Chains A and B, each alone.
Chain A
Amino acid sequence: MKSVLVIGGGIAGIQSSLDLANRGYHIYLVEREPSIGGHMALLDKTFPTNDCSMCILAPKMNECNAHPNIDILSYSEVMDLSGNAGDFTARVQRKARYINEEKCTGCGDCTAKCPSKVPNEYNGNLDKRKSIFLPYPQAVPRVMTIDREHCIYLTKGKCGNCKKVCNAGAVDYEQKDTFVDLNVAAVIVATGFDMFDPTHMQEYGYGKYANVITAMEYERMICASGPTGGHLETAPDKEHPGKIAFIQCVGSRDLQHNPYCCSVCCMHAIKESILAREHYEDIKPYIFYTDLRAVGKGFEEYAVRGEKEYGIKYIRGRPGQITEDASTKTLTVWYDDTVNRKVKGLEVDMAVLCTSLIPAKGSDKLAAILDIELDEYGLYKSRDELTAPLDTRRPGVFIAGYCQSPKDIPESVAQGSGAAARATEVAGGAYI
């Protein structure tokens, strides 16, 4: 059986893996986080159908896990790729998670007894997780990981609670990073994106004002399984906001930060506004946009419905500043009313920054390892941007999903499948 290496276990990489595994290829799915799922696992609902994101993703994650042809190598990274199309050798680093994956049942007894709490990055840092943790309940594979930066035993040699309580004997503080060499016929890179950090854009006060949050944080907050159980909380009294402002293109379409348009933020702001209204009838959502780019199938209709049925107010213009009333924590969004040509202030209880989706951390390093090129934005460069979007300059190495160019879930799925087709062509030796 021929093998294919898929790097990145977001929706694009999952689709590539399943398409290939279902036609008889063996897949090594390498994911650097403890769980596959990527960003889709962190979203609440998805536009334009408002399908629950985890509900449609979880079956695919589980299918990967249960598939006899798929090996998931989570918490792992590719360190080297030698050889040629049809016959590559990939060296993969399996980071020590201090857990024996075979033994861990994911019962969570250890988590309950772990005294070390750290900000939960899988919930937008809005709550705490333990040092021995599952990123979220539907994590795949369902095995614990110990965070070596924060674990009291690993940093100070004290505690050891988790090992004591683990009935399966899965905790192993002596575990070391290991390396495996995999022989594969083709490689698919689907490393997705990371979120732009708007802290240094002082005009919006992110990190300074309690009620300025990012869209990713908002997705977690509005999600029923998120840190607030789906409740939108504002400072100081945890009341839900009366007015919410969504600020588009934060860090994107911006020559100083990220010149491209992220393609999805207008749509997710509309979705998030609709969800706000579905949770609380009295919320008034405002979207400050540059161009309202609702370009996919059924998207324009969704935008119109947002306005007509959910009362979203679309305001054209990029706010110059957000200020805060220190006592009430209420915010004022200052913007150029481009229709009336006046500077105006809108008082809101919460401002959501729709920040840029930027190339995944470490894309430059991975590009060097794989000997593929980056484009001017730091995304992986296609061999031919027009006619060979899925190919890279290295034969047998393909790209799919957001890491190739900005795109939403169905387009990532389509490319994930497409890359599987290209990989099959190469692996079959019919065409390189």
Chain B
Amino acid sequence: MKDEPRIGVFVCHCGTNIGGYVDVPSVVEYARTLVGVVHAERNTYTCADDGLTAIKKAIKDHNLNRVIVASCTPRTHAPLFRSAVADAGLNPYLFELVNIREHCSWVHMKEKEAATQKAKDLIRMGVARTALLEPQEEIRISVTPSALVIGGGIAGMTAALSIANQGFKVDIVEKDSEMGGMLRYLNDLYPGGRKASLVMDEFIGKVKNHPKIEVHTSSTIKKVDGYIGNFTVSVQNEKVPLDIKTGIIVVATGADEFKPVNLYGYSGSGNVLTELELEERLKNGSLQKLDSAIFIQCVGSRGEGRSYCSRICCNVAIKNSKLLKQTFPEADINILHNGIHAYGTYEKMYREAQELGVGFRKYSKEKPPEVTVDGERMRVKLYHELMGREIEYTPDIIVLSTPLIPHPENGDLSRMLKVPLGQDGFFLEAHVKLRPVDFATDGIFLCGSARAPADIIESINQGYSAASRAAIPLMNGYVQAEAITAVVDETKCIGCGYCASICPYRAASMNEKTVVAEEVSYITRKSYINPALCKGCGTCAAGCPAGAITPNHFTLPQIMATIKAFQQPGAYIYDRIKA
């Protein structure tokens, strides 16, 4: 580093989020005393337009070459401040965010003085580190202009059609012999009651006729290599294995219906059915006339073991109960439930079912219904919470509304793609609120029931959504890669290969190198870290026995300076530590 640090510190009140607990003016005063700091100010919201303008202005006015914002989490706000810094002509990596909200004011709301002191400590540490920051360069990665969609259900077909309509080639990899997914087994669809087969055929027709879409049925994913813009996916097909090069990947693998073996008399045969089995009977016309039917909701969900609500089953039961009632108007049809989750405009379907005469009977979680099956005779006992007594039914069929559950092979797929699953076994998106169809890994997206139970409309919405997110790198033709990566010092690397074995993103690999010495030449192994894949996590640097790896932007001197500053409260004197 050649230039003397000229650091500007911007302390954010975050309304009262920080300002209510930390004495911001005194923190600013303190920051001014730190060596290397030439300007310090406070802002109500540094992230607001005027805050960003203030940063840019101060960079010009005070000739700043380093900037610190002391505010909230870098997860949400670092990109914003970095781009403000870049707008003013500084390298965006000459910026540091010191978190005095999550790490300070929010956790010390009842200790204002201590919070203020801690904010000062954090800023002092930030200043020490910032003085040693170096500019980093972002690299552009070119993007193969095509997409690969895993799963040919309604979500995957929608995503594929939309990406293709936006102008890109799409490969669909479907493990079954036909596309359609869950739709292949369904009877009529809510809302509206259209035949599933009609909807499915319409979509499959469009997909098959689309000049930009190629479908690989009876095919599974065997291996995924590469990174955003440049994936190579090995696909195993009945005939020949195939390597597909693609720019992005969409996961649309759907989910399975839970089979409730040993619950409520279910054995897989007889007249205790799951909703899917009822749909099959309705579809192929094998359902016999009946006088009475019982639906039981939340079988295997919202309880021990599987805690989530499967979202769609109340609506499915309402749809099917209406259908049974319309087919057999005399029949006694009752839905035993623990709250009917007919959210949104599905409320209408719920009301229609009630008007048709379908009974809705609430049970309590503590006393679920009891089913006894004795040959042909089935008995259901319900403790009716609202009437305060037991009711007994002797239905002809019992339909169990079971949840959608993650595919058993999700684990394998998640490992190959290097994307996470949630605790419930479904694929986990990058941000629950604002990035519902992105994975944290760039270039991979998800939609439909692979993410969480979803109905047709929701799967279609998400299919389009994934198509939109995916089309951004495809249309731009390039992506900007992470600038904070790890670099290998080949003179120190002893070729042990430990980094390659521990890198969670598979960015580190071993290359053979020929070394020519005076008399002899020999071959040795040296670590190579692919900057397009590296996320800068630092695992390799921590693991390397020879100390040959340095993560840019988190160098040893930078980290040591931070720690030293922590140990020297009061008048910390900036001293440059040589590596």
Residues on A facing B (Cβ under 8 Å): 11, 19, 22-24, 46, 48-49, 51-52, 55-56, 58-60, 62-63, 65-66, 105-107, 137-142, 224-225, 229-230, 253, 259-263, 291-301, 304, 316, 338-341, 375, 377, 379, 385-387, 389-390, 405-407, 409-411, 413-415, 417-422, 424-425, 428, 430-431
A224-B15, A418-B461 given; A259·B348 CB < 8 A:
yes
Are B344 and A407 interface neighbours, CB within 8 A?
Answer: yes
CB-defined contacts of A263 to chain B, threshold 8 Å = 343-344
Are A62 and B52 interface neighbours, CB within 8 A?
Answer: yes
Are B49 and A141 interface neighbours, CB within 8 A?
Answer: yes
User: B347 contacts the other chain (Cβ, under 8 Å)?
Assistant: yes
A406-B343, A424-B468 given; A142·B49 CB < 8 A:
yes
Instruction: Give the contacting residue for A253; candidates B191, B347, B467; CB below 8 A.
Output: B347
Which residues of chain B in 332-369 are interfacial with respect to chain A, using CB atoms and an 8 Å cutoff?
339-348, 351, 362
Contact with A along B180-202 (1 / 0, CB 8 A): 00000000010110100001001
A261-B347, A410-B434 given; A430·B309 CB < 8 A:
no
Are B462 and A138 interface neighbours, CB within 8 A?
Answer: no
Are B452 and A386 interface neighbours, CB within 8 A?
Answer: no
User: B302 contacts the other chain (Cβ, under 8 Å)?
Assistant: yes
* Interface-side segment among B162-170, B240-248, B484-492: B162-170
CB-defined contacts of B192 to chain A, threshold 8 Å = 385-386
Are A387 and B460 interface neighbours, CB within 8 A?
Answer: yes
Give the complex CA separation of A141 and B50 in angstroms.
10
Give the complex CA separation of A348 and B302 in angstroms.
30
Are B343 and A338 interface neighbours, CB within 8 A?
Answer: no
Give the complex CA separation of A410 and B454 in angstroms.
13
Give the complex CA separation of A142 and B47 in angstroms.
12
CB-defined contacts of A294 to chain B, threshold 8 Å = 309, 341
Give the complex CA separation of A419 and B462 in angstroms.
10
Give the complex CA separation of A432 and B37 in angstroms.
58
Q: How far is the CB of B444 from chain A (nearest CB, A)?
A: 15
Are B468 and A420 interface neighbours, CB within 8 A?
Answer: yes
Q: How far is the CB of B247 from chain A (nearest CB, A)?
A: 13
Give the complex CA separation of A421 and B458 in angstroms.
15
CB-defined contacts of B309 to chain A, threshold 8 Å = 294-295, 299-300
A385-B192, A418-B461 given; A431·B165 CB < 8 A:
yes
Are A411 and B458 interface neighbours, CB within 8 A?
Answer: yes
Are B45 and A58 interface neighbours, CB within 8 A?
Answer: yes
Q: Which residue of B lies closest to A431 (CB)?
A: B165
Instruction: Give the contacting residue for A300; candidates B308, B346, B426; CB below 8 A.
Output: B308
CB-defined contacts of B437 to chain A, threshold 8 Å = 414, 417
Give the complex CA separation of A19 and B436 in angstroms.
14
A51-B433, A430-B166 given; A295·B49 CB < 8 A:
no
Q: How far is the CB of B215 from chain A (nearest CB, A)?
A: 18
Q: How far is the CB of A27 from chain B (nearest CB, A)?
A: 14
Q: 12 more A-B contacts (CB under 8 A) besides A66-B83, A414-B436? A: A65-B49, A138-B48, A224-B16, A294-B309, A295-B311, A300-B309, A339-B386, A341-B388, A379-B345, A389-B457, A417-B468, A421-B166
User: B286 contacts the other chain (Cβ, under 8 Å)?
Assistant: no
CB-defined contacts of A292 to chain B, threshold 8 Å = 339
CB-defined contacts of B341 to chain A, threshold 8 Å = 291, 293-295
User: B79 contacts the other chain (Cβ, under 8 Å)?
Assistant: yes
Q: Which residue of B lies closest to A387 (CB)?
A: B199
User: B287 contacts the other chain (Cβ, under 8 Å)?
Assistant: no
Are B475 and A24 interface neighbours, CB within 8 A?
Answer: yes
Give the complex CA separation of A405 and B435 in angstroms.
20
Are B461 and A22 interface neighbours, CB within 8 A?
Answer: no
11 contacts between A and B (CB under 8 A): A22-B476, A48-B432, A51-B433, A137-B48, A297-B426, A298-B432, A390-B461, A405-B344, A410-B436, A413-B436, A424-B475
Are B50 and A417 interface neighbours, CB within 8 A?
Answer: no
| Most central of A23, A139, A375 by chain B CB within 10 Å | A23
Which residues of chain B in 432-487 are interfacial with respect to chain A, using CB atoms and an 8 Å cutoff?
432-437, 451-452, 456-458, 460-469, 471-472, 475-476
CB-defined contacts of A407 to chain B, threshold 8 Å = 344
User: B72 contacts the other chain (Cβ, under 8 Å)?
Assistant: yes
User: B571 contacts the other chain (Cβ, under 8 Å)?
Assistant: no
A23-B476, A58-B48, A389-B457 given; A425·B162 CB < 8 A:
yes
User: B20 contacts the other chain (Cβ, under 8 Å)?
Assistant: yes
User: B44 contacts the other chain (Cβ, under 8 Å)?
Assistant: yes
CB-defined contacts of A139 to chain B, threshold 8 Å = 48
Instruction: Give the contacting residue for A301; candidates B202, B307, B339, B362; CB below 8 A.
Output: B307
Q: Which residue of B lies closest to A264 (CB)?
A: B343
Are B433 and A377 interface neighbours, CB within 8 A?
Answer: no
CB-defined contacts of A261 to chain B, threshold 8 Å = 342-347
Are B465 and A418 interface neighbours, CB within 8 A?
Answer: yes
Are B471 and A421 interface neighbours, CB within 8 A?
Answer: yes
| Most central of A46, A58, A297, A338 by chain B CB within 10 Å | A297
Instruction: Give the contacting residue for B472; candidates A19, A49, A52, A406; CB below 8 A.
Output: A19
Give the complex CA separation of A141 and B52 in angstroms.
13
CB-defined contacts of A406 to chain B, threshold 8 Å = 343-345
Give the complex CA separation of A422 and B464 in angstroms.
7
Are B476 and A24 interface neighbours, CB within 8 A?
Answer: yes
Q: How far is the CB of B371 from chain A (nearest CB, A)?
A: 23
Contact size range, B: 35 or more
Give the complex CA separation of A417 and B45 in angstroms.
28
| Most central of B311, B342, B344, B458 by chain A CB within 10 Å | B344
Q: How far is the CB of A188 from chain B (nearest CB, A)?
A: 11
Are B343 and A298 interface neighbours, CB within 8 A?
Answer: no
Are B457 and A385 interface neighbours, CB within 8 A?
Answer: yes
| Most central of A107, A304, A417 by chain B CB within 10 Å | A417
Which residues of chain B in 288-303 are interfacial with respect to chain A, using CB atoms and an 8 Å cutoff?
302
Give the complex CA separation of A362 and B336 in angstroms.
41
Are A377 and B345 interface neighbours, CB within 8 A?
Answer: yes
Q: How far is the CB of B295 from chain A (nearest CB, A)?
A: 16
CB-defined contacts of B343 to chain A, threshold 8 Å = 261, 263, 293, 295, 406
CB-defined contacts of A23 to chain B, threshold 8 Å = 471-472, 475-476
Are A304 and B307 interface neighbours, CB within 8 A?
Answer: yes
Give the complex CA separation of A42 and B475 in angstroms.
35
A23-B476, A387-B199, A417-B464 given; A430·B50 CB < 8 A:
no
CB-defined contacts of A65 to chain B, threshold 8 Å = 49
Give the complex CA separation of A78 and B76 in angstroms.
33
CB-defined contacts of B432 to chain A, threshold 8 Å = 48-49, 297-298, 410
User: B17 contacts the other chain (Cβ, under 8 Å)?
Assistant: yes
Are B460 and A389 interface neighbours, CB within 8 A?
Answer: yes
Give the complex CA separation of A422 and B166 in angstroms.
9
Are A230 and B47 interface neighbours, CB within 8 A?
Answer: no
A56-B433, A341-B388 given; A387·B462 CB < 8 A:
no
User: B385 contacts the other chain (Cβ, under 8 Å)?
Assistant: yes
CB-defined contacts of A230 to chain B, threshold 8 Å = 16
Give the complex CA separation of A291 and B360 in angstroms.
12
CB-defined contacts of A137 to chain B, threshold 8 Å = 15, 44-45, 48
Are A59 and B79 interface neighbours, CB within 8 A?
Answer: yes
Q: How far is the CB of B403 from chain A (nearest CB, A)?
A: 11
Are A63 and B465 interface neighbours, CB within 8 A?
Answer: no
Are B348 and A260 interface neighbours, CB within 8 A?
Answer: yes
Are A260 and B47 interface neighbours, CB within 8 A?
Answer: no
User: B77 contacts the other chain (Cβ, under 8 Å)?
Assistant: yes
Give the complex CA separation of A56 and B162 in angstroms.
28
A263-B344, A386-B456, A389-B457 given; A424·B434 CB < 8 A:
no
CB-defined contacts of B467 to chain A, threshold 8 Å = 418, 421
Give the complex CA separation of A9 and B240 in angstroms.
50
Q: How far is the CB of A186 from chain B (nearest CB, A)?
A: 12
User: B515 contacts the other chain (Cβ, under 8 Å)?
Assistant: no
CB-defined contacts of A60 to chain B, threshold 8 Å = 434
CB-defined contacts of A49 to chain B, threshold 8 Å = 432-433
Give the complex CA separation of A298 and B431 in angstroms.
13
Q: Which residue of B lies closest to A16 (CB)?
A: B468
Which residues of chain B in 2-55 are interfacial with respect to chain A, using CB atoms and an 8 Å cutoff?
14-17, 20, 44-45, 47-50, 52-53
Q: Which residue of B lies closest to A225 (CB)?
A: B15
Q: How far is the CB of B113 from chain A (nearest CB, A)?
A: 20
